[in-house]
Structure 1
Amino acid sequence: MKWYADRPIRLTRQVVADLLAVGWVALWIWVATTVHDWVLELRAPGDGLVSAGGSIRDVFTNAADKARDVPLVGDDLSGALGNGTKAGETLTSAGNAQIGVVEDSAFWLAAALVVIPVLFLLVTWLPVRLRYARKAAGIEKLRDKPDLLALRALTSLSPRQLAKFDGDPAVAWRTGDTDVIDELARRELAALGVRA
């Protein structure tokens, strides 16, 4: 396949379009990572719950351990303080759940912010580039067959462009007028930016 034209103007347009496509992808990757980082900042309350729950759990666990040494009521007191340990663990679990939701949301939002624009690019830009590459490669194979190129030009040039020829270019092609055939072939190659 021939990805780029030989003629400078079309080549420049193709290179600029390709660079814009790469820039488009880079822009959305940057946006996605920025949004990902912003969403991750929402995990601060979850971190606070984990920290607070851990502190409460540790305080009640230590208190329950010391309460066992209290004569007569130590076991009951230790059991009651054990409920405080469970409350701390509940807070820690809630904080971890919130952190998980925020991290999952950040990931999927970032993924969507990359995938959707890249899919848009693949649907719009890529088919145009592939179509050009196939056409240019096919035309390039016909470079040394001016009659076929001239015939293609007769069917693909606009009526206004065909009217610029002196006389009827189709008649000139049928009669083998080499000047008209060469001009039609040159225009067909030029239409895709391929050098004659």
Structure 2
Amino acid sequence: MRLYAGHSAKLYRQITGDLFTVIWSIGWFLVGGVVDGAIRVLADPARSVAEHGSAMGESLNRAGEQAGRVPGVGAELQRPFTDAAGSVEEMVRAANDQVATIETLATLMGVVTFAIPFLVWLLLWLPRRIRFVRTAGAARRLLDSGAGADLFALRALASEPVSALARISDDPVADWRAGDRAVINKLAATELGRYGLKIPVEDARPERRSTT
């Protein structure tokens, strides 16, 4: 499986794109963490209320227990403390619910902050990388099945820019039809180089002309 093209501008674009994807993902992950932390700070007052309320409720319960030990009137003395402790417990539950809601919102916003830009870029970057890997794999299978340089030279004639073809030959189509091995090999090498592949050794050999 080929992940990168041969030495070419395409290779540098692929490496740059992959590095950018890593940096982009890490950057937005950190931003998501910052958003998560910033929202969680909003829960601090409610968290403080819950902590102090719990301590107050425990104190009221202990005071009620002490008052309940007074002979004769203990039950009457204990009731106000018990009622007050119950009210404090309700306040603590409400504060804890508020903390839980804010923390859930913080997690959600942190994930959304990271996920949206990450997925947008992934939809732009990943299909190209998958398409290249599949195309390079298909080219590799063609080479393994015995496809020669002529096939990939023809592919280069159909896909390479005219300026690139002109650097290979003044008339690459005519040379391809005439079976000029030097031109065919250059065309095939250009096409296969896009996928990090090389033409087979037997195809790369220049055509030997018989001398009689």
Separation in 1, partners of 2:157, 2:12? 27
| 68-77 or 96-105: bigger deviation | 68-77
Contiguous gaps of at least 5 residues in structure 1: none
Match of 2:91 in 1: 91
Q: Report the identity percentage.
A: 33
Letter in 2 for 1:154: L
Separation in 2, partners of 1:28, 1:84? 48
Pairwise CA distance, 1:115: 2.6
TM-score normalized by the length of structure 2: 0.78
Match of 2:55 in 1: 55
1:23-172 matches, within 5 Å, as 23-142=23-142, 145-159=148-162, 161-162=164-165, 165-167=169-171, 169-172=172-175
Aligned residues of 1:146 and 1:182 also touching (Cα < 8 A)? yes
Separation in 2, partners of 1:166, 1:39? 66
Residues 4-55 of structure 1: CA distance to partner in whole angstroms, max 9, x if unpaired?
1221544333222212111111112211222222222222112221123213
Residues 69-101 of structure 1: CA distance to partner in whole angstroms, max 9, x if unpaired?
344432123122211010110111011111111
| 65-74 or 42-51: bigger deviation | 65-74
- With over 3 angstroms needed to count, the CA separation of the structure-2 counterparts of 1:69 and 1:141, relative to structure 1, is closer
Separation in 2, partners of 1:16, 1:158? 23
Match of 2:189 in 1: 186
Letter in 1 for 2:190: R
Instruction: Please provide the CA RMSD for this pair.
Output: 2.5
Match of 2:206 in 1: none
TM-score normalized by the length of structure 1: 0.83
Aligned residues of 1:29 and 1:114 also touching (Cα < 8 A)? yes
Letter in 1 for 2:150: D
Letter in 2 for 1:127: P
| Partner SS state of residue 6, structure 1 | coil
| Partner SS state of residue 43, structure 2 | helix
| 6-15 or 74-83: bigger deviation | 6-15
Query: Size of the alignment, in residue pairs?
Result: 195
Letter in 2 for 1:124: L
| Partner SS state of residue 55, structure 2 | helix
Separation in 2, partners of 1:137, 1:62? 76
Separation in 1, partners of 2:12, 2:162? 28
